[in-house]
Copies of this chain bind each other. A is one copy, B any other.
C-alpha cells in the first residue's frame, strides 16, 4: 500500500519555501522591470513628439501600442518563469504547440504586417486625415488611419477599407503645388508661332486673374505631330487641389481664343484615294 508516512515532509516544505521565495522574487522583478520599461517608452515618445512634431493623438496611440506590446511580452516571460519554477516544463509545452502555432503564425502574419506598417504610417507623416492619396488601386480622401486599416473615401462616395499591409507604395497628392497640363491640337495648316502666341496671351491673362495659379502656365512648344493635328502643350503650377479647376478654365479660354482668331482644333482627318474606275481595277478579281 501507499505509505505516506515515508515521504520526507520536512524536505518537501523546505523546497516549497524556496519555491515560494523564488515566485515572490520573480513577481517583484516583474514589477520593477515593467515600471522602468514603461517610463522609458514614455520618455522616448515625449522626446519624439517634441523633436518630430508628431501630433499628440498619434503619439498617444503609438505609446499605448508600445506599452501593450511590452507588457504582454513581459507577462508571457513571467508566466513561463513561474511555470518553470513550480516544475511545469513550459518550454516543452511551447515547443509542442509550435506546429499549431506555426500554422496560426502563417495565417496571422497578415495581421502583424498590418500593424507594423500601421505603426510607421502613424509615426511618419506620409498620410494625414483629409489628404488626397492613391495607393494600389484606391484613390480618395483619407478618412482615418488606424493600426490595422486605413479608410479612404473615394470620389464617388465609396468608402475603401485598405489593410495597412496593402499600402506598400503611397502617392500623396496633397503635398505641395500641383501641375496643370493642357494639350491642345491645331491644324497642320495653321501657323504654329501664331497659335503659340495666342495661347501664351491667354495663359498670361489667366495667370493674373486666378490667384490659384502659382507658376504661370507657359506654352512649351510642339509636343507631338499627331495623325491629324500639331499638338501644343501648356503647363503651369497651381495651389494644391486647384489643378482641375485651372485646367478647365484654361481649356475653355483656349477654345474661345482659337475661335476668336480662326484657328482650328481639327477633327480626325483621312485622305480618300479613289480607285480610278477607268483603269479596270483588280482585273484579275472582277474579270478573271
Shortest CB-to-CB span from A124 to chain B, Å, is: 7
Q: A222 and B237: CB pair below 8 A?
A: no
Q: Digit string of A167-195 for contact with B (CB within 8 Å is 1, else 0)?
A: 01111110111110100100011001000
Q: B184 and A158: CB pair below 8 A?
A: no
Q: Specify how many copies of this chain sit in the oligomer.
A: 7
A280 nearest CB neighbor, chain B only:
B189
Check: A43 CB closer than 8 A to any chain B CB: no
Q: A158 and B138: CB pair below 8 A?
A: no
Report chain B residues within 8 Å CB of A28: none
Check: A211 CB closer than 8 A to any chain B CB: no
Q: A268 and B227: CB pair below 8 A?
A: yes
Check: A37 CB closer than 8 A to any chain B CB: no
How big is chain A's contact interface, by range? 35 or more
Report chain B residues within 8 Å CB of A77: 93, 97
Q: Digit string of A191-214 for contact with B (CB within 8 Å is 1, else 0)?
A: 010000000000000000000000
How far, in whole Å, are A71 and B281 apart by their CA atoms in the complex? 79
Check: A111 CB closer than 8 A to any chain B CB: yes
Q: B188 and A265: CB pair below 8 A?
A: yes
Report chain B residues within 8 Å CB of A106: 103, 105-106, 109, 112-113
A94-B99, A161-B172, A228-B268 known, 15 other contacts, Cβ within 8 Å: A2-B16, A94-B96, A101-B103, A103-B105, A134-B158, A154-B171, A157-B177, A158-B171, A221-B245, A259-B285, A259-B288, A263-B288, A267-B273, A270-B272, A279-B286
Q: Which of A274-288 contact B (CB under 8 A)?
A: 274-277, 279, 281-288
Check: A58 CB closer than 8 A to any chain B CB: no
How far, in whole Å, are A45 and B261 apart by their CA atoms in the complex? 66
Sample of 5 A–B contacts (CB below 8 Å): A106-B112, A107-B110, A157-B237, A162-B169, A259-B284
Shortest CB-to-CB span from A221 to chain B, Å, is: 4
How far, in whole Å, are A3 and B99 apart by their CA atoms in the complex? 44
A131 nearest CB neighbor, chain B only:
B159
Check: A160 CB closer than 8 A to any chain B CB: yes
A224 nearest CB neighbor, chain B only:
B251
Q: A113 and B105: CB pair below 8 A?
A: no
How far, in whole Å, are A224 and B254 apart by their CA atoms in the complex? 12
Q: A112 and B116: CB pair below 8 A?
A: no
Q: B275 and A282: CB pair below 8 A?
A: no
Shortest CB-to-CB span from A202 to chain B, Å, is: 13
